[in-house]
Structure 1
Amino acid sequence: MRIAVASDHAGWSLKEEIKKILAGHDVSDFGTGDSTACDLPDFVHPAALAVGKAEVDRGIFVDGVGYGSALIANKVHGVYAAVCQDPFCATLARSHSDTDVLCLGAKIIGSALALETVRAWLTTDFLADNPKYVARVGKIREIAEMHIRRDL
């Protein structure tokens, strides 16, 4: 699987831990490269564009609480990001909503829980054989088509 990772200074250390468990995947790191204060959009936006353009299959973005990454990512056409703070939420974000970006808050959860959350999200498939979830995701995609510009 091709995975984009990105973070700001608050999420950098956890992003580096996450990259270690992504062995066997094709990982593209969009930055940041250290814990020096920086602006989250400078790194998450290009990573989200890579997801939206299907240059990668999924994205994992880490900042202080996760919401900044999700706000940025969900502005990009073709990106469906969710903030997850435990494996249960990550499993539902994939199985029920077919998310392609996982956003984590490094100040919210510890690394052990974050790593388990990543594993759960990566190994869970969308319930594509369940008409209820297919219809729900279809409605979400219709909303995106009405409001999010395609020109990346």
Structure 2
Amino acid sequence: MATRLETLMDELTEEQQEAIHLLLEQMEYSKKDEDYKSMDAIAEEVGTCRKTLYNWRTKNPVFMEALGLATQARLQTLAPYAYGAMSKLLKGSQPSTKALDLYFKQQGWTNAPQEINITTNSRDDAVLAEEIARLAVQTGVGNNDA
């Protein structure tokens, strides 16, 4: 039985399928890498123009869903690397608190929401006037001295 991604890819042209593969490759590089391909280069390699490539990515629902599912599939292949990096952060001589937090959340160990309650005392004008008078007597500052 075909996966949803396979079904979607079958609905796309060869050019669109190739564009998805090239866009996935592009995501793995920064613009500074020599292997990075610009949108213009991808469009040229696929045999179309940049505007068509843009339209596929933003207005073609089949292409958009296929690209999203292909991206998720590609990210799943990186899971072992993420696990290794997390392990190093947790097992180090000074474990990362952010890594611990992420690990606990992933395990569902921190699902209790934290709540902070702040209570303020409201005082009316009469109470404030009494407080000001008391402080004036204590400090020796009169109302006219300020």
- Verify same fold: TM over 0.5: no
What TM-score do the two structures reach when normalised by structure 2? Answer: 0.23
As a proportion of its length, which structure holds more strand?
1
**Greater CA radius of gyration, 1 or 2?**
2
TM-score (norm 1): 0.23
Q: Which has the higher contact order (CA 8 A, sep 6+)?
A: 1
Structure having the higher helix fraction is 2
